[in-house]
Copies of this chain bind each other. A is one copy, B any other.
Amino acid sequence: MDDLTKKTVKQRLASATGHLKGIERMVDEDAYCIDVIKQVQAVQAALSKVSTLILDNHLRTCVTTAIRGDEPDERERVLEEITSVFNVSSKL
């Protein structure tokens, strides 16, 4: 991960962590269920963006290097990984 992506990803993960702690407090204070669900869904959406951000950086660095490289096995491996995370993301 390049430095800027790393910094942004860490900030967003820290923000999601803070959000989750806030949701724990909501549950403690007997907040309305639907409001809790909406906040949980907001964290899920924020995490989706984090994944997209990391993938974008990964494509531009490791994947590009592997595809331009001379090892067919390595190329195959990075492409399979992309398909695999795409497949999981469509099931979340």
Contact of A10 with B37 in the complex, beta carbons under 8 Å? no
By DSSP majority rule, is chain A's interface helix, strand, loop, or mixed? helix
Contact of A9 with B27 in the complex, beta carbons under 8 Å? yes
| A36 CB → nearest B CB, Å | 6
Counting every copy of the chain, the complex holds: 4
Interface size on A, residues (CB 8 A): 58
Contact of B83 with A52 in the complex, beta carbons under 8 Å? yes
Contact of A17 with B21 in the complex, beta carbons under 8 Å? yes
CB-nearest residue of chain B to A33:
B58
A1-59 at interface with B (beta carbon < 8 Å): 1, 6, 9-10, 13-14, 16-17, 20-21, 23-24, 27-28, 30, 32-34, 36-38, 40-41, 43-45, 47-48, 50-52, 54-59
- Known A24-B14, A51-B37; contact A82-B79, beta-carbon cutoff 8 A: no
